[in-house]
Structure 1
Amino acid sequence: MARLAPSFGHLVFILSLLQVSVVCQTPDNVNSLLTNLFANYNNKIRPVNDQSLPIVLDVSMFLFSVNAVDEVNEKLVTTGFLGLTWTDDLLQWDPTLQNEIFIIFLPQKDIWKPDLVLKNGFKKLTEMGGDFYFLSISNFGDVYWYPYEVFETRCSIDITYFPYDKQTCNVTFIVWSYSADEVIITKSSGGIDFYEYEENSVWTIVSTDSDIKKDSYESEITFTITLQRKPRYYVMNMILPVVCLGLLSLLVFIVPADAGEKMSYSVTVFLAFAVFLTIISAELPVNSESTSILSFYLVLQLMIGALVLIISSIQLRLHYRKSSRGMSKFFVAIVRIDQFLRCVKRYRLCCKKDVTTVENFDKNEEEQSTELEAAIEWSDVTNAIDFLCFWFLLLVNVGLTMFLFLYITGS
């Protein structure tokens, strides 16, 4: 079998081993280098040879996870770290004179570093990193600092289209003490980089961006995160049960008034709907600046349920009236509309249900109206109310539901 040629990575590894075997730095070599570098070093002075020139600070952000989005407090909690890079002119050396030492590691408190702070945070301004953080410094003076933080930032929340809402949050960093003439921020990436990112169970990241603001007074960088809420949980556990309860409340108009169960059924469905609303109210985001369309939908469904309860009460009152004499023209009109719609539905010229018939089409309208009013009973009125209210409220309910989904999903 032919032997495989070594890859480029293998060659680099072999050469590095040869280099290590030839050149070996001792603690005395590193100690000597640090003694020379810090002989006249002061971490309170900007490390630039020409103090009239600014230090160029490259800022990147690496995101681990989106921990939480608090709608009530309008707070975004994320976990990640910053990648800060700048050049320290006072920490440069020639590796050939220092036994081939190309890089050293020092605690962050030992050298100068920019006072970069979180501008739109919830807590007081604190120093990035900590005493246990080490910075890497190359022989060219390039300093690399990666402070890890849990960022709690303010974020304006708009819940109008909940649970299909998108939220745009900013994470802003600013050099607090130095002006833009002393420390200027740049960026090497167009947005936020992901480092071993863990997906959030409620929110997914749609896009990221970064922007730099520069003026004569301050220099700051803003990282923008656009989040999309995952709606499946809220649709399955909130919207669909409400839609089903709304349709169940309309079935009261199918229950005959003589059955004696119309009122009890209506009250039972209304109470079930009210109890369910109290349960899901805890799941709705609280925000006084914007109101969710879903909240309006729930209120409308509750009002429809109350309207169904009122109509059912009036129906039972009318159904058990004994005499139909002196019936108002309003109830007569309801029966006429019911008969007309039934005729249209059945493709007939005219129809009735044990009420009246039109035997002679040559009769004038007054005679037909008089015969109709004389034959109408209160049971016919309640049947007409059942028919009209069921189809009317069904169309209203379906229309509201379709509007809700089309409006909030099309946002």
Structure 2
Amino acid sequence: MNNVHRQFVLNLICLSFLVKLCSTYSYTDVDILYKNLTSGYNKQIRPVIDQSEITYIDSSFNIITVQDISEVQGTVTLSGFFSFSWIDKNLAWNPADHNNIYTMDFPENVLWKPPMVNGNAAKNIKIMTVENMMLAVQEDGRVLFFPGDSFTFTCDIDSSKFPFDTQICTMDILTWGYSNETLVFNDGLVATDLMGTNSGWELSSATITGNVFGKLAIPGVEVKFNFKRRSYFFIMNLLLPVNFLGFLNIFVFILPQESGERIGFSITALLAVVVFITIAEDILPATATPKLAALYELLIQDMALSGCIVISVILSSRIYYQKDQQAIPEWIRKCVGFKFCCCNKKHPYFNRHLTEPNSVHVLKSTDKIKVDLQKDENTNELTWETVSKFWDTVSLCFYLLWFIVGNMKFFIDTL
């Protein structure tokens, strides 16, 4: 018996679906329903029987493409369309009385709809609508409104972490002439199914929430976008080449003075960094609000580093080719002598003579070279060539430390 009853219910459901699918309505049916619904309809009045009630509007947004994000102008341009829906009780009907008509389309200038505007538009503020657009109305009086356009709105762009920056931008959609006591917008979803790929930016997340704006409590929705810059291009074309040139330039102090290539090498590296900075001017955001881009600071640092290296190489060459007859200042002797003193303390023969000053050592034939080296180290003779090598060692350590600290600061600020 239960099986017979279950089969009867299934047949009844299938029959109802078939009746619904097979039912057709004519032009006359639609015309009669259209005239019945629009007769006496006033689109200037909010569509509730009791005007003290609140009209609740569901909202969502569909992104089609992100066209441009301008750091200089502080604007975002994207295209898409909204989906707003609300209940208009004046437009409800019984499908059984109208040959099973469940949905009808009405011109947008016939029905009431909330006057929506882009509150933070970068250009003209205008009512959001599309000429000759149709509004879909369902049997229960739910109206579906799909305004679409290319939206340009303002955004506070922070490029201080360029090229690893993320931007949070909001588009404020307001209802002109209404308050939150009459209209309330519900939270919705932001759909990216139709969205194309932007070569410069990636949309990390997006939300749409109902909000109240200003002291006048204007109802509307806030669409929040989280954009992340695609940084691979800038890493491969700016960050790595400039860092490699800066790092390579430091090793100019290892080249021997006799090669005659030190000054030319350092100047070439400096000019290469300047060329990269010139190229970067067309790529980097031309703004310093609220802070200069970190990559731009790194480029300026590498240029300053290369410039100082050129000066240090010139000074090193000047010192190296000084005549030995010219006396070495005492302060230079102290600096260089402190270095050699620290190095000689680690020498085994030096330590042995410190601990056993009166001891006598039997010298073997193999110790002759060591004794000669020890005598050379303990002599007070200091040449300009030795001072030049000392200067190269100090410069190498200093600029290497400068390079490491500067890059650490860049990555700490951006990541």
Task: Give the alignment's TM-score, normalised by structure 1.
Answer: 0.84
213 and 93 in structure 1: CA distance in 2 versus 1, 3 angstrom threshold: same
Counterpart in the other structure of 1:200: 198
Report whether the alignment pairs 1:167 with 2:173: no
**1:265 positional shift:** 1.6
What code does the residue aligned with 2:392 have?
Answer: D
Structure 1 position 71, deviation (Å): 0.8
Match in the other structure for 1:396: 402
* Cα separation, partners in 2 of 1:341 and 1:207, compared to 1, 3 Å: farther
Q: Distance in 2 between matches of 1:337 and 1:305?
A: 29
Which stretches in structure 2 are left out of the alignment for 5+ residues? 1-11, 352-371
Whether the 8 Å CA contact 1:262–1:312 is kept in 2: the answer is yes
Q: Say if 1:161 and 1:408, in contact at 8 Å, map to a contact too.
A: yes
| Secondary structure of the structure 1 residue equivalent to 2:193 | strand
Q: Which residue of 1 aligns with 2:207?
A: 209
Q: Which one is further off, 194-203 or 30-39? A: 194-203
The 1:256–1:345 alpha-carbon spacing in structure 2 relative to 1, beyond 3 Å, is: farther
Structure 2: how far apart are the matches of 1:395 and 1:311?
15
Name the % identity: 26
Q: Is the 8 A contact 1:338 1:388 kept in 2?
A: no
1:112 is displaced (CA, Å) by 1.1
> What's the secondary structure of 1:212's corresponding residue?
strand
Q: Partner of 1:307 in structure 2?
A: 308
Contact 1:159 1:165 in 2 (8 A): yes
Q: Is the 8 A contact 2:61 2:208 kept in 1?
A: no
Please state how far the C-alpha of 1:17 moved relative to its aligned partner. 5.1
Cα distance change on mapping 1:45 and 1:327 into 2, 3 Å:
same
Count of residue pairs the alignment pairs up: 381
Aligned-partner SS, 2:91:
coil
Flag the 1:195–1:12 CA change in 2: closer, same or farther, 3 A.
farther
Q: Per-residue CA shift, 1:238-282, capped at 9, x if unaligned?
A: 110111110222122122222222222221211121112111122
Which stretch of the first structure deviates more once superposed, 248-257 or 337-346? 337-346
1:82–1:146 CA contact under 8 A, matched in 2: yes
RMSD of the TM alignment (CA)? 2.7
Deviations 1:36-69 (A, max 9, x none): 1112112222222222323222221122232222
Q: Given residue 124 of structure 2, which amino acid in structure 1 is its aligned partner?
A: K
Q: List aligned pairs for 1:3-402, cutoff 5 A.
A: 16=17, 18-21=19-22, 23-187=23-187, 189=188, 191-214=189-212, 217-289=217-289, 290-336=291-337, 338-339=339-340, 358-359=374-375, 371-372=379-380, 375-402=381-408
Separation in 2, partners of 1:46, 1:14? 40
1:107–1:341 CA distance, 2 compared to 1 (3 A): farther
SS in 2 for 1:76: strand
- Alpha-carbon distance in structure 2 between the residues aligned to 1:162 and 1:12: 61
TM-score by length of 2: 0.84
Q: In 2, are the aligned partners of 1:57 and 1:186 still within 8 Å (CA)?
A: yes
1:162–1:292 Cα contact (<8 Å) kept: yes
Q: Is the 8 A contact 1:59 1:83 kept in 2?
A: yes
Q: Distance in 1 between matches of 2:272 and 2:94?
A: 80
